[in-house]
């Protein structure tokens, strides 16, 4: 394989990535969450305008409150560049994987797999018996990743029932 092929670049990046816990307000984490919001807005763009009340209710359902936050994890290269992000939160009695994103330049490097595994390890270490997550039909890469870890479909759960009834939700027994 040529030294500068995309595959060799991805392999080199994969070797340089470490998963680290950061404060939720870490600027690198905030930038990746903004990038996720932009990408999801494009993927789920609707021709029909949405009422401000529905938009506000959806934003509230997606918000991670500080008392729910267990961990914010980044996939970081050896030069400090964040290429991936995920959150683990407690949602009532459940543990929820939230806000997983891998930067475009790092997709295919295994950073997403490493972030999901870090969430599983963290939840298991804290005594969780199950992890749940919510995604959507416009995110087939995410669905494939979660299924590869053994996540199985479950019914749409709160707080997504009213504002995102077409969500795809999954659970993983630990």
46 domain residue, yes or no: yes
Is the pLDDT at 91 greater than 80, yes or no?
yes
Residue 50 has pLDDT above 80, yes or no: no
Please report whether residue 1 resides in a domain. Answer: no
The 10s digit of each residue's pLDDT in 142-154 is 999 999 999 999 9
Does residue 54 belong to any structural domain of this protein?
yes
Q: What is the domain range of residue 93?
A: 6-173
CA proximity to 70, closest of 54, 90, 86: 90
Cα–Cα–Cα angle for 76, 80, 86, rounded to 5 degrees: 30
* Strands lying side by side in the sheet with 18-22: 18-22, 69-76, 82-91, 94-102, 130-135, 168-173, 152-154
pLDDT value at position 55? 83
Please give the Cα distance from 9 to 152 (Å, whole number): 33
More confident residue, 19 or 55: 19
165: CATH? 3.40.630.30
43-47, 119-123, 163-167: segment of lowest average pLDDT: 43-47
Taking the whole predicted model, whether its pTM rises above 0.85 is answered as yes
Mean pLDDT across 95-114: 96
Residue 147 falls within a domain, yes or no?
A: yes
pLDDT > 70: percent of the chain: 91
- Mean per-residue pLDDT over the chain, rounded: 90
Give domain status of residue 140, yes or no: yes
Whether 2 shows a pLDDT value over 70: the answer reads no
pLDDT value, residue 11: 57
Number of compact structural domains in the chain: 1
Asked if pLDDT for residue 42 goes beyond 70, the answer is yes
pLDDT at 13 over 70: no
The 10 Å CB-count burial string (b at 16+, else e) for 5-42 is: eeeeebeebbebbebeebeeebebbeebbeebeeebee
């Amino acid at each position: 394989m040529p030294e500068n092929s995309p595959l060799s670049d991805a392999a080199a990046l994969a070797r340089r990535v470490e998963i680290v816990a950061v404060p939720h307000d870490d600027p690198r984490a905030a930038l990746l969450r903004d990038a996720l919001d932009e990408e999801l807005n494009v993927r789920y763009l609707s021709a029909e305008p949405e009422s401000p009340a529905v938009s506000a209710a959806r934003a509230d359902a997606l918000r991670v409150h500080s008392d729910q936050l267990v961990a914010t994890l980044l996939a970081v290269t050896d030069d400090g560049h964040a290429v991936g992000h995920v959150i683990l939160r407690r949602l009532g009695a459940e543990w929820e994987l939230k806000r997983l994103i891998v930067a475009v330049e790092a997709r295919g490097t295994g950073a997403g797999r490493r972030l999901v595994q870090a969430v599983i390890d963290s939840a298991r270490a804290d005594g969780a018996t199950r992890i749940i997550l919510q995604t959507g039909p416009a995110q087939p890469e995410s669905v494939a990743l979660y299924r590869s870890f053994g996540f199985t479909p479950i019914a749409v759960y709160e707080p997504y029932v009213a504002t995102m009834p077409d969500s795809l939700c999954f659970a993983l027994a630990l």
